[in-house]
C-alpha cells in the first residue's frame, strides 16, 4: 500500500484535529504506543480499527485480531509526526468519554488541564498523572487535543491507561469534578499559599482535582473564582517558575503521598 492508497489518504487526515473529530478516530505511532493501544483494545478500553505497518514492522507483529495494512516506508512516514518514523501506526477509535463518565468511579485524584497549549506538555502531564495514580485526566476549555500525535507520543502509553475526557465548557468540567466529590485546587504561581504548607496542614489528604492552566497565562479569573483553593509550588531558589510538567509532577505527587501517608 503506498501513500496514495485511499486507506492511507483517509488515515492521514487523522493527523489533524478536524480530521480526527470528523472521523471519530486518532493515530498512535511507534511500537510502544501501538503496544499499549493493543493492550487497551484487548481489555476493551479502546478500539483499534487497524494497523499500518512497514514489512519490517509487520513481520514483528503477533496476531492481535486487528487488520494489518502493510505499507511502504513512504506511506508510513506520511502518517507519522516524528522525525524518524518507526513504520508502525494504530488507527484507533476516539473514546467518547464525558467528564462525568471519566469520574464515575469517584477517583480520589484527578488532573484537569485548562488552556494548556503545547501537546508535548499535555501528554507529559497525562504520563505524570498516570504515574501518580490519578484516576482520570480531563481536558477542559481550549486545551490542546489529547489525541494530537505529539500528545499521544509524550504520554508514552498513559493515554491508554486511564480515562481521558474532553469538554470545551471549562466550568462544566469543574462542576463535574465537584459533583464527584473532588476538592478543586488550582496550581497558580501567584497564589499566596504554597503546596508544602498545605501538605503539612493535611489539606491534600482528601479527594482532589488539580487544575493546571495555560503555560503562558495560567488560570483565568472566572476559573479561579470557582476553585476551593489555589496553591503555588514554592520556589526556594532563583528560578522564576517551573515548567508545566515539572510543576504538575510536584503537585500530583504531593497529593498522592498525602492520600497514602497522612490520609
Comparison of 87 and 157: residue with beta carbon closer to a copy of itself = 157
Q: Does 118 bind a copy of itself (CB under 8 A)?
A: no
Q: Identify the three-state secondary structure at position 49.
A: strand
Q: Does 153 bind a copy of itself (CB under 8 A)?
A: no
Comparison of 64 and 250: residue with beta carbon closer to a copy of itself = 250
Q: Does 129 bind a copy of itself (CB under 8 A)?
A: yes
Choice from 199, 208, 209, 228 touching a copy of itself (CB under 8 A): 199
Yes or no: say if 140 and 102 are a contact pair by the CB < 8 Å rule.
no
Helices (H), 65-217: 73-78, 99-102, 119-131, 149-154, 170-179, 195-200
What is the total count of residues that contact a copy of itself (CB under 8 A)? 40
Cα 191 from Cα 152, distance rounded (Å): 31
Cα 199 from Cα 203, distance rounded (Å): 6
Cell of 183: 476538592
Write down the least CB distance from residue 250 to a copy of itself, Å: 5
Cell of 51: 494497523
Map the footprint of a copy of itself across residues 34-73, applying CB under 8 A.
Answer: none
**Piece of the chain touching a copy of itself by CB under 8 A; list 17-25, 81-89, 169-177, 253-261:** 253-261
Choice from 19, 133, 206, 220 touching a copy of itself (CB under 8 A): 133
Q: Identify the three-state secondary structure at position 51.
A: strand
List of residues 6+ apart from 194 with CB closer than 8 A: 231, 232, 233, 234
Write down the least CB distance from residue 79 to a copy of itself, Å: 23
Cα 85 from Cα 78, distance rounded (Å): 9
Nearest to 206 by CA among 236, 234, 177, 233: 177
Q: Does 249 bind a copy of itself (CB under 8 A)?
A: yes
Q: Does 132 bind a copy of itself (CB under 8 A)?
A: yes
Cell of 89: 501506526
Q: Does 158 bind a copy of itself (CB under 8 A)?
A: yes
Q: Would you tell me which residues interact with a copy of itself (CB under 8 A)? A: 124, 127-134, 156-158, 161-162, 196, 199-200, 233-243, 245-250, 253-254, 256-257, 260-261
Amino acid at each position: 500500500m503506498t501513500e496514495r492508497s485511499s486507506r492511507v489518504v483517509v488515515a492521514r487526515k487523522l493527523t489533524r484535529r478536524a480530521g480526527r473529530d470528523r472521523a471519530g478516530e486518532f493515530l498512535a505511532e511507534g511500537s510502544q504506543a501501538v503496544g499499549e493501544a493493543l493492550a487497551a483494545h484487548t481489555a476493551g478500553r479502546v478500539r483499534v480499527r487497524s494497523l499500518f505497518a512497514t514489512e519490517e514492522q509487520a513481520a514483528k507483529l503477533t496476531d492481535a485480531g486487528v487488520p494489518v495494512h502493510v505499507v511502504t516506508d513512504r506511506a508510513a512516514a506520511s502518517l507519522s509526526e516524528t522525525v524518524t518514523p518507526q513504520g508502525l501506526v494504530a488507527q484507533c477509535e476516539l473514546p467518547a468519554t464525558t467528564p462525568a463518565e471519566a469520574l464515575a468511579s469517584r477517583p480520589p485524584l484527578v488532573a484537569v488541564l485548562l488552556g494548556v497549549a503545547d501537546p508535548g506538555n499535555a501528554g507529559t502531564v497525562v504520563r505524570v498523572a498516570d504515574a501518580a495514580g490519578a484516576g482520570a485526566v480531563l481536558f477542559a476549555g481550549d486545551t490542546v487535543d489529547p489525541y494530537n500525535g505529539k500528545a499521544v507520543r509524550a504520554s508514552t502509553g498513559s493515554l491508554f491507561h486511564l480515562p481521558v475526557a474532553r469538554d470545551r465548557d471549562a466550568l462544566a468540567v469543574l462542576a463535574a469534578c465537584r459533583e464527584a466529590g473532588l476538592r478543586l485546587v488550582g496550581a497558580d504561581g501567584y497564589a499566596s499559599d504554597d503546596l508544602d504548607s498545605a501538605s503539612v496542614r493535611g489539606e491534600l489528604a482528601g479527594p482532589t482535582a488539580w487544575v493546571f492552566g495555560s503555560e503562558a497565562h495560567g488560570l483565568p479569573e472566572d476559573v479561579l473564582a470557582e476553585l476551593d483553593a489555589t496553591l503555588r509550588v514554592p520556589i526556594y531558589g532563583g528560578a522564576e517558575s517551573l515548567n508545566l510538567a515539572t510543576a504538575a509532577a510536584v503537585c500530583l505527587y504531593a497529593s498522592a503521598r498525602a492520600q497514602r501517608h497522612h490520609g
